[in-house]
Amino acid sequence: MKGADWVLWVEALLLEARGRPAEAAAAAARAWDLLPELRFLHTNWTAPPDLVRLAPAVRDTDLAHRVTEGTEAAVRHRLRHRRRARRRR
């Protein structure tokens, strides 16, 4: 469902603001896992810092690593794509 990741991400931020870090991290993890194929298409570049920040609060280093690795992979992919596009010009 398009936009569901955003709803969960906002929920995570609200839960964190209310002092419920474990629930916030769980909501953030659900948002991250929801639509991996659409994760970095548009504005979802704003979520990874929050996810990585929330994960250690509940000692979920696996989430922090998954988000970091996924973000790094997306950056590498985007850079490769841009380099190829520049070569074609």
Q: What is the DSSP code string of 22-67?
A: HHHHHHHHHHHHH-GGGTTSSSGGGHHHHHHHHHHHTT-HHHHHHH
pLDDT tier at 13, thresholds 50, 70, 90: very high
* List of domains in the chain: 4-88 (1.25.40)
Locus of tokens 């998954």: 66
- Residue 37 is predicted with a pLDDT of 66
- Residue 44 is predicted with a pLDDT of 64
**Burial of 6: CB neighbours in 10 Å, binned 0-12, 13-18, 19+:** middle
Distance between CA atoms of residues 65 and 58, nearest Å? 14
Q: Does the pLDDT at position 79 exceed 90?
A: no
At 17-76, the pLDDT tens digits run 999 999 999 888 888 887 666 666 655 677 788 888 888 888 888 888 988 888 888 888
The DSSP symbol for 74 reads H
